[in-house]
Amino acid sequence: MHQQLCRVSRGGLLYYTCTRLAGVRHAFTTKRGGVSTGDCESLNLGFNRGDKRENVIQNYHILADALGMPYGRLTMTNQVHRDEVSVVTEGCVGMGLHRPMAWESDAIITALPDVPLAGFYADCVVTLLYDPRSHTAGVCHAGWRGTVRNILGKTVDAMARELGANRDSLVAVIGPSIRQCCFETDADVPEAMEAAMGAAVRPFIEPHGEKYHIDLQGVNAQCLRGAGVRPENIIDSGLCTYCHSDEFWSHRVTNGRRGVQAAVICL
């Protein structure tokens, strides 16, 4: 785990924060601290996992109360594994939780205060972004398909273009996700990555017999640097959801029988 990551326990609720985001409320949740049962025990934050809706709603209340975030303004990404980035304006607040989703965006950004942004993970790379100069924030979900499309770099570009974020001061925290030690794929994944991103991704692809192990965090950090984020402002949590499946749901460990964690940030 990165030295700037903090493991926080409040009652039964367990989550992680980063000291570099000390100016904003934020968290990377674990599966601990909620009311869900069965495969989704206990802090499941996904409505499409077979959990009771009332359990998921209660879990959001628990999280919002613990972090001092307004539950009624919580706004969500839509996990479709593409590269669309949406700006959360006042007319969009609450989408995904309190009103129907009007976008197909794996990344959302905002300059609005008191609007918690939530992206979701159970192996995929979710990154929290914050620029203290412009006081803007974002959350970006990237599986390998989103990574190939450089969604994280495009999120930084959108924050700079749409919200006036400063690339020199922007901080990006890559959350818990499946790491190279455990992310084994067939040849189609590295081939797609190299076709889209060129030879620059080769250092992040490690052959293992007929399989390959991919360093998604390394590729996404490279995307951040390519978008102008300073290397010292990129923090990789170092936490593998597969290795630490006692705390995190891993899609691969559970064969899809699982709940969902969230990365949340609120100006």
Reported as a pLDDT band with limits 50, 70 and 90, residue 158 is very high
Closest CA to 12 of 62, 74, 70, 67: 62
Closest CA to 78 of 119, 139, 126: 119
> What is the pLDDT at residue 250?
98
> What is the pLDDT at residue 71?
98
> What is the pLDDT at residue 212?
98
Closest CA to 48 of 27, 79, 72, 69: 79
Cα 138 to Cα 166: distance, rounded to the nearest angstrom: 13
CB-based burial of residue 230 (10 Å sphere; 0-12 exposed, 13-18 middle, 19+ buried)? Answer: middle
Cα 16 to Cα 9: distance, rounded to the nearest angstrom: 9
If you average pLDDT over residues 128-132, what whole number do you get?
A: 98
Q: What is the percentage of the chain residues whose pLDDT exceeds 90?
A: 99
Reported as a pLDDT band with limits 50, 70 and 90, residue 54 is very high
Are the beta carbons of 102 and 123 closer than 8 angstroms?
no
The domain 5-266: what is its CATH number? 3.60.140.10
Reported as a pLDDT band with limits 50, 70 and 90, residue 163 is very high
If you average pLDDT over residues 5-26, what whole number do you get?
A: 96
> What is the pLDDT at residue 61?
98
Cα 86 to Cα 139: distance, rounded to the nearest angstrom: 10
